[in-house]
A and B are shown apart, each in its own frame.
Chain A
Amino acid sequence: MQQSLLKPSVLLANLLLAWGVLFSSDTLAAPFWFVDTVTPYGDQVNFTYQLMVWISIAILVAVEVALVVALIKFRKKPGDRREPETWSHNTRLELIWTIIPVILLVIILVPTMKGVMMLADVPKSPSLTLEVVGRQFFWEYRYPDLNVQFNSSMRMGNQPQEPLHIPVNQTIKVVFTAADVIHSWWVPAFGIQQMTTPGNLAQIPLTVTKVGEYEGACAYLCGAYHGAMNIKVKAVEQAEFDAWIKTKVAGAPLTPINEIGRIGAPHPKLDIQKGGEQSKEKPQGAVDKTIASVPVQSSTASPEVSAKQQTPSIDPVVMAKHGEAIYSARCAACHQTNGAGVPGAIPPLAGAEQVNGDDETFARILLKGLTNEPIKVKGVDYKGLMPAFSDLSDEELASVMTYARASWGNNGKAVSPELVKSLR
């Protein structure tokens, strides 16, 4: 080895030179499969990645070349009388290949730490706050300052999907949580991803510098339709943004994000001085009733009906109106605004026997959901993968059921909250 022309130090020096030339050359600084980024932070990630790719290529080439040369030069040849070498140390070489990786790692650290600091730099008084709530299987977006709430839809077939609009060239504070399971909001062009975890709030700064439509995806496994839970964002000028906002203003104040994400849920009150009560039920599947997941359309809530009465004394028209808001917030993402579902995947509600049939069956489906229970709707088999909506109150469930029955040619019969309560 000491006599070889391919002395490692010479090889390495040449490689470093080539690398330096290539990396600094515009024509060859290819994106290496990274997407085009449209935020300053994304650009920083992109740059860090390019640096790491070049370093990795250099190391990989060094390793592979050394390997191939060793194999060719020292392969066993027939009739070869060569004795193998007997050395098994070379302190200088070992020091080199220990120190150089350390140096390379330190080099990588510089832009990396800059990126970390950029991500941690969330504006204390942002001009705009966006709240993102992950749900199975869509995103609930809110601009709390503007009282706007907007739900995305799943990517199913060729259904058009309305994108979230955000204003361009503004540093927005984005706050994330999830309402049910862990999701992750990922838009590669922004260079950001944020896991959304129930019980936790995360926040990042976002500044998009280029008008355009950007695609993303849920990047944490959240259930059966994780693959359909994509993201569409449109960065627009302020005027277009304001116009979009006008179409989305919610009728009533939004529920605080803390409640949706179950952040800092209070401890159950315990008082073991009281004797004998076993007031706690096993919370299997039960969720704290303080969660309000849907903005209430009007403050005139349906009056309480006494438990003895069978027929509801509440106005079905009022209930259906209330139900419409709930439907668009929680059901339309899958069953669609026109109640038609998605052929092959999501059953329709229009004309469905489960909707128009007896109250108990209908209510049970909403309360318990369907997990792997095949269901036949209008003669077509579906897999039966519906989340449970037991977090909604009796009134809310009765309202949305009444709305579904009042729409798309269904039978129009109202459902009472008492029935829902009796089936929990």
Chain B
Amino acid sequence: MSAHSHHDTTPGSAVAAGAVDPHVLEHEIASIFPLFTSFGTGLFLLGCAANWNSIAWGKGAIVLGLVVMIAAMTGWWTELVRDNKLDETTLIGTPEAARKGLHVGFGFFIGSEVMFFAAFFAYYFYARAIAPTWPPENFHLPWAPALINTALLVTSGFFYMIGEHRVANHQPKGITLFWMSLALVFGFVFLGIQVIEWADLMHEGFTITDGAIGTSFYLLTGFHGLHVIIGAIFITVVTFRIAFNHFTPTKHFAMTAAGWYWHFVDVVWIGLVVVLYLYDYFRDMVGWSKPVAHAMSQFLV
């Protein structure tokens, strides 16, 4: 325990950091949107619960809640974009601190999303371990759409990185917008193929109620698809902002964040493909995996 490890409170040792412009202190970051986002979401969820329980006003609550929620979130992000222009970030800290803070904060946000997916992957592995046989008889997921979709998402991520590189290097925005749009198109094609795959499977009788395999498949791909939609919306907004010249080579955090989100969605997808589609094909090739899995299931379950 070293001597200086305590809170240094010796009086008279401070130096003024330099006075802050009083005009800045007059301005307050205030927003009505957090309140409306909260209550709008609450109303939406209330409506979902009511609707699932056959209560008449459920659907109305869902619609109204969604409208309020989306309007509030849109208003909020509009405020943020406006903030950026006014450099309000200096109000509560230095611009450098704000920049770093945004990166760290968004990183933790993605971390929390990883933990959410972890719960669903945990279900998948657990259900496999306790199943008498896996995969179920006569069952295999069609792997062609999965591989095509992997290629689509990975290349989409690559196109996005090209766009990022161009913005960071102050290159003409016309071609940047092309790459961004291409990334988006690939993302939408991905979603389209997923929808078709779901429709095909359901038509053939494989639904979400089909035991552990139905649950895992639809929930993992479903939540992943939801995140792709969110990512696609994010990238769409970023693309528009590029068109409106909101970004500079050193100040384009929204673009960085959307990129991180898109890559995260990519990584989850690859994990999903390996675990849901490919693992069973290769499991028997890896000789040690069976005894290991057996030992673990004995120990845990």
Contacts and interface: CB of A to CB of B under 8 A. Distances in A.
Interface of A: 88-89, 91, 264, 266-280, 282-283
8 contacts: A267-B132, A267-B213, A268-B210, A268-B211, A270-B139, A273-B204, A274-B204, A280-B210
A283 to B, nearest CB: 6
Contacts of B209: 280, 282-283
A272 B206 contact: yes
B132 A280 contact: no
**Which 4 interchain pairs have the tightest Cβ spacing?**
A267-B136, A272-B204, A271-B138, A270-B139
A268 B205 contact: no
Given A89-B1, A268-B210, A278 B205 contact: yes
Contact of A277 (B132, B205, B213): B205
Given A270-B136, A282-B209, A275 B1 contact: no
Interface in B109-143: 130-134, 136-139
Contacts of B138: 269-273
Contacts of B210: 268, 270, 280
> Which of B203, B204, B213 has the largest count of A CB atoms less than 10 A from its CB?
B204
A219 B292 CA distance: 36
A276 B203 contact: yes
B228 to A, nearest CB: 24
A266 B130 CA distance: 11
Contact of B212 (A267, A273, A278): A267
A270 B137 contact: yes
B23 interface: no
Query: Is chain B's interface secondary structure helix, strand, loop, or mixed overall?
Result: loop
Contacts of A268: 136, 210-211
A276 B202 CA distance: 9
Contacts of A273: 138, 204
Contacts of B1: 89, 91
B201 interface: yes
Given A270-B138, A274-B205, 4 more contacts: A91-B1, A267-B137, A270-B206, A278-B205
Contacts of A91: 1
Interface in B211-250: 211-213
Interface in B256-276: none
A280 B130 CA distance: 23
B150 interface: no
Given A89-B1, A278-B205, A270 B213 contact: yes
Contact of A276 (B134, B205, B212): B205
B238 to A, nearest CB: 39
Interface residues of B, number: 22
A268 B138 CA distance: 11
Contact of A280 (B6, B131, B205): B205
B207 interface: yes
A284 to B, nearest CB: 9
Interface string B192-204: 0000000001011
B136 A280 contact: no
B6 A88 contact: yes
Nearest to B6: A88
Given A269-B137, A270-B213, A278 B207 contact: yes
> Which of B136, B205, B206 has the largest count of A CB atoms less than 10 A from its CB?
B205
A178 B147 CA distance: 43
Contacts of B132: 264, 266-267
B93 to A, nearest CB: 31
A273 B142 CA distance: 11
A283 B133 CA distance: 21
B213 A275 contact: no
A270 B204 CA distance: 10
Contacts of B137: 267, 269-271
A89 B138 CA distance: 69
A275 B205 CA distance: 7
Contacts of A88: 6
B61 to A, nearest CB: 22
B211 to A, nearest CB: 5
Nearest to B2: A89
B207 A272 contact: no
A273 B200 CA distance: 11
A269 B133 CA distance: 11
B264 to A, nearest CB: 31
A273 B134 CA distance: 18
Contacts of A272: 138-139, 201, 204-206
A205 B16 CA distance: 73
B134 to A, nearest CB: 8
A277 B206 CA distance: 9
A269 to B, nearest CB: 6
Contact of B211 (A267, A276, A278): A267
Contacts of A89: 1
